[in-house]
Amino acid sequence: MAPAQSKLATPILLRESTIRAVVSQLTQLYLSNRTRISRAVYITLFVALINRVRNAIAEQKAASAHDAAKRSERKGTTSSVSTAADDQDAAAAAAAAAKKKKKVELNREFFRSLLRLLRIVVPGWRSKETRLLISHSFFLVLRTLISLKVAAMDGAIVKALVKGNGREFLMRIVWWMLIAVPATFTNSMLSYHQAELSLRYRTRLTQFIHDKYLSQLTFYGISALDDRIKNPDQLIAVDVAKFSNSLAELYSNLAKPILDMTIYTLSLSKSVGGEGVVFMALLVQLSANVMRVLTPPFGKYVADEARLEGEFRFQHSRLIDHAEEVALYAGHEAEKDTLDKGYFTLIKHVNYILRRRFYHGFMEDFVIKYFWGALGLLLCSVPVFVKLPGQAVLNMGDRTESFVTNRRMLLGASDAFGRVMFSYREIMELAGYTSRVASLLDVMDDIQSGHFEKKLVSSSGTENNEAVLRGRGKVVESTDIEFIDVPIISPNGDVLVKALSFSLKQGDHLLVVGPNGCGKSSLFRILGGLWPVYGGTVHKPPFTDIFYIPQRPYLSRGSLRQQIIYPDGLRTMRAKGVSDADLMAVLRMLGLEHLVELYPEGWDAEAEWRDVLSGGLQQRVAMARLFYHRPRYAILDECTSSVTLDTEKAMYENAKALGITLMTVSHRRSLWKYHSRILQFDGQGNYVFTGLDAEKRLALEDEKEDLDVLLRQVPELERRIEELTAL
Ligand SMILES: Nc1ncnc2c1ncn2[C@@H]1O[C@H](COP(=O)(O)OP(=O)(O)OP(=O)(O)O)[C@@H](O)[C@H]1O
């Protein structure tokens, strides 16, 4: 932060002497120049200079305030994680806190984010977007020039009318109609360019985000490991579109009025005098500054509205996803409460914005339309009431022509200025969308570099926080699987197992058992690379060699064939040399061949498979997927819970025959016989890893159960003995 601040401070100090020299030079030039236009230019330079100094002072103030806030924030964070005594972590936490407090304002942060997004949507000078922007700009200039011509023609028409010259009047009308052709064409081109630009921005941004979101498991990190983005779907599908629209709109809403203002003001200053224009510009600038101070933070409002919209939509999509469960619980009233709450929170906010917009619009209209309009009329009357030096006395026709032309140009200029002022609100809205989209990009970058932020709800507090921030385990690629002192830590910071060590060779089938929530699935999340390795070393084969089947398999959209070969596509299947007949052989192993015959389209049948197939059928389809892929290792996480013992037998025996090493999480005793190793968690953070002799273990378990039954009978037997003794 320090270098940034000195960068700001130095120019202001240096400028004190420079400013004095520039001011005296400008004064001399102003006094020595006679023409009104050049005088106007010097006055404008004065105003620009004053503005620049004022902005620099404001920037410096903001920078020192930001610096002070950051320093105090850092102090606070360091003491709260003082047990960690780790500067790196403290800095990360401070940065995170600073990010959380980020407001939507037109500050450096906004321009930095906007620049980042601009680089994505307009990737280079030779890009199609640049060409579109150039031709858009060309039509913007053309339209201003046409408007200028129309203003002059307006004056000439009224002059012909005042003079009573019918022939000239008609000629002027014909010209007027002719100019309408390029004018309307230009207008249509402008609308087309704006819409096309918006579409292109959206496409670029969506492609960029999709590439990042779907690489390095970022989508999983956003939803499971990090708390900052609640609804990425809304951000990608809606906010990106709104940002693109807003950006494309802003360019035409800003570029054209600025151009109009410059050209009209220059033309006006020729006929009404440079000083008049500059004086009026000063008044306008003053009132504009007052308006800016009174403008509410619309950017923040827009960002909040988008967030609330997203949350409301998310609640609806949850209801759709879990419609059956909610219906069976008769949970519609509870769901209605949640939905109503989400909707009314959103509407309360929208209403609040509407009210703020109402007061703001009232003030904006008054200043822009009436106050500036009156100023304009005063300015237009200058050539009529004031005889400017070097100007000939005007007759009635000329006066009318000059008034009408000036009035028209002035209306154009004030309309343009009004639009620039109105666009302040649009810029604030753009700032809102920019902040939302940029925050998604920031979080994706963080996740890809291994930095997560999640509210810790664990009972063990700071100790876990430290571990989450550090994540310093090692991952080594190997053909076998080995964990050496690897802690299992949930994203909430709960330490499920302090240091886990075990090793597994190909062909060693592993059974993982333990009570609910002890970390059985979490072990495989680490193995699959979903959760970071916070310590120790993990030796594991590449991702493609391990296949995972959960209890509720994921069934994708698409054909029946696609369910078996997922995530491969048809082309990859063909490239692997697999035919539909091979797939049928796989289905036969699991007694599923009737599925293909069930639908007239056969393998190409499409359906919402999640609803069409029963729980057991879904598990069998998932197993067929495993047989198609034939990986070296398979993680079977309670994936036979809904099938019969016969089907389970077919699944396990075929999987082993295909040379797949199995790692099973299950509470079913019927599965023990398929495994040679066991990893047993006790739910208190301890575990045992040993060989598994299923028959011996089953006999021991049976004996234990018999003893348990006998033990449970002891009180009853004792009571009976007491009864008999008493008798
Ligand atoms: N994405 C997540 N965010 C926060 N906590 C999580 C997440 N995933 C799992 N956990 C927590 O980690 C702990 C272990 O979960 P895990 O799924 O490994 O349990 P399990 O041993 O497989 O249990 P079960 O037999 O019920 O499937 C649980 O307390 C769970 O709440």
In this structure, which residue's CA is closest to atom 6 in ligand 1?
490
444 pLDDT higher than 80: yes
534 C-alpha to center of ligand 1: Å? Answer: 17
Give the type of residue at 110: F
What gap in Å lies between CA 681 and CA 514, rounded to an integer? Answer: 5
What gap in Å lies between CA 56 and CA 282, rounded to an integer? Answer: 20
Q: Say if the ipTM goes beyond 0.90.
A: yes
Ramachandran sector of residue 706 (left: φ over 0; alpha: ψ -120 to 50; beta: rest): alpha
Residue 519 CB less than 6 A away from ligand 1: yes
Which pairing describes strands 474-477 and 510-513: parallel, antiparallel, or unpaired? unpaired
In this structure, which residue's CA is closest to atom 1 in ligand 1?
224
The full DSSP string for 113-129 is HHHHHHHHHS--TTSHH
Residue 172 CB less than 6 A away from ligand 1: no
pLDDT in tens, 373-391: 777 777 666 666 666 555 5
pLDDT in tens, 602-657: 999 998 888 889 989 999 999 999 999 999 999 999 888 888 888 899 999 999 99
Residue 224 CB less than 6 A away from ligand 1: yes
679 pLDDT higher than 90: yes
Lowest mean pLDDT among 167-181, 195-209, 332-346, 416-430: 416-430
Residue 423 CB less than 6 A away from ligand 1: no
What gap in Å lies between CA 660 and CA 546, rounded to an integer? Answer: 10
519 C-alpha to center of ligand 1: Å? Answer: 6
Amino acid 362: pLDDT = 83
473 C-alpha to center of ligand 1: Å? Answer: 20
Residue 615 CB less than 6 A away from ligand 1: no
CATH 1.10.3470.10 fits 102-448, yes or no: no
Instruction: Parse the chain into domains and list their residue ranges.
Output: 102-448, 470-692
- CA-CA-CA-CA dihedral for 352, 250, 43, 23, to nearest 10: 90
- Report the nearest atom of ligand 1 relative to the CA of 525: 18
pLDDT in tens, 25-83: 666 665 555 455 555 566 666 666 666 666 566 555 555 555 554 444 444 333 333 33
User: How many other β-carbons are positioned within 10 Å of the β-carbon of residue 254?
Assistant: 16
487 C-alpha to center of ligand 1: Å? Answer: 14
Residue 244 CB less than 6 A away from ligand 1: no
Distances (CA, A) of 254 to 65, 210, 423: 31, 30, 7
Residues in the chain: 727
Give me the phi and psi of 391, to 5 degrees please. Answer: -110, 135
640 C-alpha to center of ligand 1: Å? Answer: 19
In this structure, which residue's CA is closest to atom 29 in ligand 1?
517
pLDDT in tens, 164-189: 788 888 888 888 888 888 989 998 99
Terminal C-alpha separation, the chain? 92
3-state percent helix, strand, coil for the chain, nearest multiple of 5: 70, 10, 20
What gap in Å lies between CA 644 and CA 315, rounded to an integer? Answer: 36
* Domain 102-448 identical in fold to domain 470-692: no
Query: What is the pLDDT averaged over residues 219-240?
Result: 88
- Determine the longest span between alpha carbons in the chain, in angstroms: 141
Q: Is the pTM of this model over 0.80?
A: no
What tokens appear for 549 in the block?
A: 């089947």
Say how many CA atoms lie within 13 Å of 126 toward its Cβ.
Answer: 0
CATH 3.40.50.300 fits 470-692, yes or no: yes
CB contact set of 461 (below 8 Å; sequence gap of 6+)? 493
What gap in Å lies between CA 539 and CA 528, rounded to an integer? Answer: 12
Query: What is the pLDDT averaged over residues 527-541?
Result: 88
